[in-house]
Structure 1
Amino acid sequence: MGVGRAHRIVGAASRIGPPLTFLRPRKLPQQARARATVEAIVDACAELLANGPYEALTTNSISERAGVSIGTLYEYFPNRESIVAALTAASCRRLVAALLKAARETRGMSDFEGIEHLLRSGVAALTAPKSVFCRLMLEAPFVLRLPAFHEARAALDEICQSIRIGAGDRVNLPEPQLDAWLISQMLFNAMFEIAIGWTEEAEPDVVVRELARLTFRMATGRDPRPEEMPSSPPRLLSLS
């Protein structure tokens, strides 16, 4: 794996790709039937990307997979990129929802278990079948310029800041707010690297365990004690 691949992709995305106006839907659905149609189009896009490269994606293939006419598709989306943008936004919303749910689930866990659970949930959301975000990140990096992507990063920072405040004296950060922000940005990139597929040297479960250990050390100034850690890394969650 190329170390820092996600970071390089993010940097490249700021310099390439169509203007954001090109990525907007033609109109938003107002009625339930219209919303179902748009959802079918976006889901069809995800299914095609899960089974083939981005360069093979066309509006015709999406409309055929969705079971709608090409005219209906163009009623809502002007091009394939705008459909991909809608898919990206949906994937980002699922990621944020998964992280918020995981944060609530950490209550009652040890600090290390909570960190590991949060990271596992994030990686699982990024690799869920409907996400296909990792493929888009590699093959259509313009998605990283979308507001939804930046909102997801900001949401992770808010979660980290909330955890920092809740942990109180258990956290040992010289510059608490700034350091928590830096940790959140590092974790965001690290989760993408794991989700993209760094499996050549270690299993993803093991990589997430090590990331959790390093995060714990950054936040507390010490390594977790054996009794604070499960005996073996839990398997990564599977999200549909």
Structure 2
Amino acid sequence: MAVRQASDLQLKKQPRQARSRATVEAICDAAARLMQDEGYAAVTTNRVAERAGVSVGSLYEYFPNKQSIVAATLGAALRDIVAGIGRSLHEALALPDQPRAGIDHWIRAIVAALESRAGLLRVALSEVPFLGEIPEARGLSQALEQIVRKGRDKSAGVVRLYDPEASAWLLTSMVWTAMQQIAMQRPDHLSRERLIGALVEMVLRQLYDAPEAEAPSVRESGN
């Protein structure tokens, strides 16, 4: 198997002018449509250029290969998702009736963001062999942790948990997986509304039923 260089996933040069930025954006939009419609294997430089309405030569000014196009396309989508998660958390924390209203708003906003890119994300998760090498994909969990940490700190007076840092990480990991499933793998017999309602209740139960206990003793912890 050929070793992939980091440069294989990078643009040759960054677009500086409005026209060049529009060209790169058109190329990424075309790649996203191709991936959603036909899958990762359908993405070729020729087909992307044709869909984008640019020459292959113009495409190669910025992208060295197919992989760099896909990496830029997915990177842009993931940045948008993370930015949306941050905005929705800010909105959620400003709502009355905390934490119920805030959690409900945040989960709905994230599911909606994932749903808007569900086709692209499905292909990325199941077909793109270098997804984990894309910087935005590697940094996604870290970005989520930072956002949740802000929410945890601001809601500290409303919800008190033993070991808030560990609890927040575990709960976020579980809820994030559940939201992905709702957005991309929801079974036909379970409505979106039903699943989101159940998820909100599960999160609230975890927050309110968690005992505000002292740290376990050495014997109790099994160490």
In which range does the TM-score fall when normalised by the shorter chain? 0.7 to 0.9
Matched, 1:120 2:108: yes
For each residue in 1:86-145, what CA deviation from the matched residue of structure 2 results, as whole angstroms up to 9, or x when unmatched?
111111111112112211221124212211221121121122159722321122152233
Q: 1:144 to 1:187 in 2, by over 3 A?
A: farther
Q: Give unmatched runs, 5+ long, in structure 2.
A: 211-223
CA–CA distance in 1 between the matches of 2:162 and 2:14? 46
Aligned counterpart, 2:187: 199
User: Do the aligned partners of 2:118 and 2:184 also contact (CA within 8 Å) in 1?
Assistant: no
Which structure: larger Rg?
2
CA–CA distance in 2 between the matches of 1:131 and 1:201? 20
Aligned counterpart, 1:97: 83
CA–CA distance in 2 between the matches of 1:130 and 1:76? 27
**Cα offset, 1:69, TM superposition:** 0.6
Aligned counterpart, 1:158: 146
Consecutive aligned runs of 4 or more in structure 1 exceeding 6 Å deviation: none
* Percent identical residues: 36
**Cα offset, 1:197, TM superposition:** 1.9
Matched, 1:56 2:50: no
For each residue in 1:184-221, what CA deviation from the matched residue of structure 2 results, as whole angstroms up to 9, or x when unmatched?
22222222222222224412222222222222222232
Q: How many residues align?
A: 206
Alignment of 1:122-201 (within 5 A): 122-129=110-117, 132-201=120-189
For each residue in 1:144-180, what CA deviation from the matched residue of structure 2 results, as whole angstroms up to 9, or x when unmatched?
3322023222222122211211112322321111211
Aligned counterpart, 1:71: 57
User: Do the aligned partners of 2:118 and 2:183 also contact (CA within 8 Å) in 1?
Assistant: no
Q: 1:39 to 1:115 in 2, by over 3 A?
A: same
Matched, 1:88 2:74: yes
CA–CA distance in 1 between the matches of 2:119 and 2:137? 13
Matched, 1:108 2:108: no
Q: 1:121 to 1:144 in 2, by over 3 A?
A: farther
Q: 1:143 to 1:197 in 2, by over 3 A?
A: same
User: Do the aligned partners of 2:103 and 2:200 also contact (CA within 8 Å) in 1?
Assistant: yes
TM-score normalised over the length of structure 2 = 0.83
Q: 1:166 to 1:48 in 2, by over 3 A?
A: same
Q: 1:33 to 1:157 in 2, by over 3 A?
A: same
Instruction: Name the SS of the counterpart of 2:156 in structure 1.
Output: helix
TM-score normalised over the length of structure 1 = 0.78
Instruction: Give the partner amino acid of 1:178.
Output: A
Q: 1:129 to 1:175 in 2, by over 3 A?
A: closer
* Greater RCO, CA 8 A, separation 6+: 1
